[in-house]
Chains A and B, each alone.
Chain A
Amino acid sequence: MTPTPHSAPSESPPRGPLSRRTLLRWGALGGAGIALGPLAACAGPTGAPGPGTLTLGLNRSLVSLDNKLNQFDAAVTVQRAVRQALTRIGPRMRPELVLADRFEMTEPTAWSVRLRDGVCYSDGSPVTVEDVATALRMYGQVTGSFLLGLFPELPTVEPTGERTFRLRTQHPVPVLDRLMANIHITPAAANRPEELQSGLGSGPYQVVKANSGAGEYTLGRNTRYWGTRPRVDTVRVRFVPEESSRVIALRSGEIDVVDTLTPDSADQLTGLPGVTVAETSGVRMCQLFYNFRKPKGHPLADARVREALTYAIDGEALIRDVLTDSAEEAGGVVPLALEGAVLAGEYTYDPRKAKALLASLGASDLRIKIIWESGEFAADTSVMEAVIDMLQAVGVRASLQQFEPGGDILKWRQGRAGDWDVIGNGYGSPTGQALTVLQGMYGGTAEKDRTGDAFMGYIVPRVERALSAAAMEVDTTRRNEQLAAVQRDIWDTWPSLWAFAPKTLLARRDRVHDLRLLTINSYDLSAVRLEG
C-alpha cells in the first residue's frame, strides 16, 4: 500500500514560461491596441477644406438649387450663385440690377426691361426674353409656393425686341422690381412647374457634384460667367442639421461659414480665435400668432381676450435671457427694418392686468394649445417653454405640441388637421418691403381661405381692402402713409400673443474675407475670397 502523504506539496503546479491564460491576456491586449489605434485619428479634425475650397454648413437641407418651393434664407445665397434673377436685393434693401441692365416703370401697370448684353448660362447659351416669360409661367403653376403669396399678381411678358420686353400687370405693382429678384431664370426648354433638379444657370458657379437627398453640393467656378470672375475655385455646401455639430465643425476648421446661428451658438463662438461672428438686424418676423379660424363665441375670437393674454408675456426677459439680446421685440406687425414699416404699438408685461382682464372677460379658465415646428426660429423650444410658464402664471392652462420638420404642420396651419390656438411662426421678407409681408400675412380673403391660403385664417376685409389699395399706389409717399395706417389697424386686432425680429447671425473662419452679410440673411458668394 502506498502511504498517503500527510501534507500536499506546497509549490504550485509547474507552469511553463507562457500559460494559456497569459497568452489570451496578451492576445486581447494586442487586439484592443490594433482596434483602438485608428480611433486616435478621430481626435484631430477631419475633412478640412482645401486652400481653394469654401465650405458652407447649412442647418436646413437644400433639396434643390431651384427656389420655387425651397426658399429659406440661407438657401438664397447658394441658389443665387447658380441661378440669377433680373434684379436682387442689395445693401440697404435697395433693388440692384443683375441680368437686366434696365428695369423701369414706364406706366403704372408696365415696366420696361432690357436684358444685359452678353448674359449667358454656364453652357454658353444666351439668356433670352422667352426664358423670362417661361420662368414666370412656371412659378405661377407651382402649388403651395411661398413666393407666389408675395405677388399681388404675376406679370406677363410682352417682348419688344431681342433683349427688351415689357412686364405688364392688370393693376399697378409698384414693387415689381423687388419682387422679380425672386424669379430665377432658367433656359425655357429646361424649366418645369416644379423644383428643378438640374443646376443650369447664369450664375458665377455651376454644379459639379450634387446629392440633393443629403443636401450636399459641390460648386465649381463657371468659366463662361458673364460678370466678374468669382474669387473662390470651389464651394462645398453641406447640410449639418445639429446646431452643436455646426459649431464644433466651425471650431475645428471643417466648415468655413455657418449661418442662421442661434443666440447661444453665437455666444459660444464669440471671442474664439480664428472665428468671427457677424450680425445684422433681421427682416424676419417671428410670432406667436393666434388662430383666426376660431368660431364666434370662442374666447380667442375676441380681440380683448387676445390683448389680455399679451400682458402675460414678459418680452423683455425673453429677449434678454432666452434670446440673449440677439432679437428685438416687435414694435409693430412687421420688422421695423423693412421699408414702409412703422411703430404700431408695443407689448407690455403686466400679469396682474392680464389676470384681471381675463377674469372680466369670463376667460379665467382658458386652455391654450401652442404648436410649432422645430427650428422655425432660433431658440424656439426655449421660447415656447418660457411662454407656457408665463401663461400658467396668469392661470391659463397651456400645452405644447412640437412638430418635427417634414411633419404635417402645414395641414394644421391651413385648418385641415387638429385644433390649435397659437402657432410659433417665422415669416421672412425676401423683398425688404413691408408691403409684401403685410399682404402675405394680413391680406387674407374668404376665397383664399377656401384653400387654406389665408395666413392662419386672418381675414379682416377692411384690412385687406386697405392693403390692396396701398399695393396699387404708385406714389411712394402716399403708399407709405396708407401702409402706416393699415399697420396700426392690424395691431389693434391683436394678431400675435408676442412677436420679435431676430437679428441675423453668421459665423465664419478668419480665412474667409469679403463676406458681406445682408439684412435678408444672404450674401454674394462670388465676392467672397479665401486667404491662407
Chain B
Amino acid sequence: MTTTVVPAERPSAVTARDLARATATRQQRSARVKLWAGAVCTALVVLPVALAGLLPLPGANEQDLSRRRLPPLSEGHLFGTDQLGRDLLSRVLHGGQVSLSVGILAVLVSGIIGIAAGSAAGFFGGWIDTLVSRFLEAQLALPLLMMLLLVVALFGPSVTVITCVIAVAQWPEVARLTRSLVLVEREKPYVAAARVLGLRGWTVLVRHVIPNVVRPASLVVLLLLAQAVLLESALSFLGAGPQRPFATWGRIISDGQAYLTTSWWLVTLPGLVIALLVVGVNLLGDALRDRTRRRKGA
C-alpha cells in the first residue's frame, strides 16, 4: 500500500511572505538588529576604555613637545597626537574612564533616587505624590545645563560634585516612569493579597511592587547613561568639568577646537567616539525595551 504524503497546507490566506512583511515581524527583526548594533557600538567604546590601562599605549599625560599634532596613523599613534604631543587615543580612552565613571555613577544614583521617589509617589499617593510630582515638575521646568553650571560654579568642579549634579538632574525621568508603572501595579490582585495577608504598605512596596517595576525602569536608566555622558562632556567643554590634567571627552574636544582647521582629528575622533557610545547605548536600550514590551504582550 502506498501512502501519498500531502503537504500540510496553510489553513489561511496569510502567506509566509506576508508574515515576513508584517509589522510585528519587522519590529522583531529591527529590535534584533538594534540589539546587535547597539551592543557592538557600545562594546567598541566601553571595552577599550575599560582596558585602557592594559593596552600598550603611552600615558594619557605623557608629553612630547617635539611631536605635536601628528596626524592619525603616524609614528605609532593611531589617533595621532594633540597640541602637547600626547597620544590622542590614550587620552580618549583614559578620558572615557572619567566620563563613563561619572555617567555610570550618576545614572546609578539618579536611578535609586528616581525609583524610590517615583514608587513612593505612585504607591502611597496623597501628599507624598503631590510633593514628589510638584518637585519633579519644578525641576523639569528649569533649564538643565544652566542649573548644572550654577551648581558647579557654587561647589567647584570635581568628579564628585559633577556626578551628584548629573544624578540629581536626571532623577525626574526615572521617577515619572516608575510612578506610572507603580500606579498600574498597585491595582493588581497580588498587591491586594499581600495586604490581606497583613503586610504593611512599605513592605508591600519594597518586597512585591518594586521588583516588578525595576526592570522597565532600569531600561530608562540605561538610556539616561548616554545623556549623562553627554552632560558630563558638555560641562567639561564649557570649562566646568573636573580640573586639569584629568582628560575628559568634553575637554579634549574643547581644547582641540582651536585647531579645527589645521588638525581635524583633535575634535573629530573624540567626537566620533562619543557619538558611537551614545548611539550604541540608545540602540541597546531601545532594543531591550522592545523586547520587554513583547514579552509582556505575550
Contact = CB atoms under 8 A, between A and B. Distances in A.
B243 A400 contact: yes
B84 A386 contact: yes
A267 B262 contact: yes
Contact of A402 (B12, B68, B243, B260): B243
Contact of A268 (B15, B240, B262): B262
Interface in B1-27: 9-15
Contacts of A401: 243
19 contacts: A4-B11, A7-B9, A9-B13, A244-B258, A244-B261, A262-B258, A264-B259, A264-B262, A265-B258, A268-B261, A321-B65, A322-B83, A381-B255, A382-B83, A382-B255, A385-B84, A402-B239, A402-B244, A404-B240
A386 B244 CA distance: 11
B66 interface: yes
B211 interface: no
B262 A8 contact: no
Given A247-B261, A385-B245, 8 more contacts: A7-B9, A8-B10, A243-B258, A244-B260, A264-B259, A268-B259, A322-B84, A374-B239
A317 interface: yes
Q: Which of B14, B65, B262 has the most CB of A within 10 A?
A: B65
A389 interface: yes
B63 interface: yes
B257 interface: yes
A247 B261 CA distance: 9
A399 interface: yes
B227 interface: no
A8 B63 contact: no
Contact of B65 (A6, A247, A322, A388): A322
A267 B261 CA distance: 10
A384 interface: yes
B230 to A, nearest CB: 20
Interface in B203-223: none
Q: Which size bracket describes the interface of B in this complex?
A: 20 to 34
Nearest to A7: B9
B84 A382 contact: yes
Nearest to B12: A8
B61 interface: yes
B245 A400 contact: yes
A71 B257 CA distance: 28
Contacts of B153: 407
Nearest to B64: A321
Interface in A303-329: 314, 317-318, 320-322
Contact of B13 (A8, A385, A389): A8
Nearest to A401: B243
Interface of B: 9-15, 61, 63, 65-66, 68, 83-85, 153, 239-240, 243-245, 255, 257-262
Given A267-B262, A385-B245, A244 B257 contact: yes
Q: Which of A262, A374, A382, A399 has the most CB of B within 10 A?
A: A382
Nearest to A244: B257
A290 B3 CA distance: 103
A7 B9 CA distance: 7
A380 B61 CA distance: 17
Nearest to A405: B239
Contacts of A321: 65-66, 68, 85
Nearest to A251: B261
Contacts of A475: none
Contact of A8 (B14, B65, B83, B84): B14
A242 interface: yes
Contacts of B12: 8
A4 B12 CA distance: 9
Among all A-B residue pairs, the 4 with the closest Cβ atoms: A321-B65, A8-B13, A400-B244, A244-B257
A322 B245 CA distance: 16
A248 B262 CA distance: 12
A242 B257 contact: yes
A7 B153 CA distance: 74
Given A8-B15, A243-B258, A321-B65, A385 B244 contact: yes
Nearest to B68: A321
B244 A381 contact: yes
A386 B255 contact: no
Contacts of A322: 65, 83-84
Contacts of A384: 244
A385 B259 CA distance: 17
Contact of A264 (B11, B13, B240, B258): B258
Contacts of A400: 243-245
Contacts of A320: 65
A404 B245 contact: no
Contacts of A317: 65-66
A8 to B, nearest CB: 4
A385 to B, nearest CB: 6
Contacts of B9: 6-7
Interface in A1-49: 4, 6-10
A317 B84 CA distance: 11
Contacts of A4: 11
A381 B83 CA distance: 11
A358 B258 CA distance: 37
A389 B257 contact: no
Contacts of A7: 9
Contacts of A264: 83, 258-259, 262
A386 B61 CA distance: 9
Contacts of B14: 8
Nearest to B261: A268
Contacts of B259: 264, 268
A4 B9 CA distance: 11
Interface in A245-287: 247-248, 251, 262, 264-265, 267-268
A407 B12 CA distance: 74
Contacts of B11: 4
A2 to B, nearest CB: 14
Nearest to A407: B153
A399 B68 CA distance: 23
Interface string A213-238: 00000000000000000000000000
A247 B61 CA distance: 28
B138 to A, nearest CB: 27
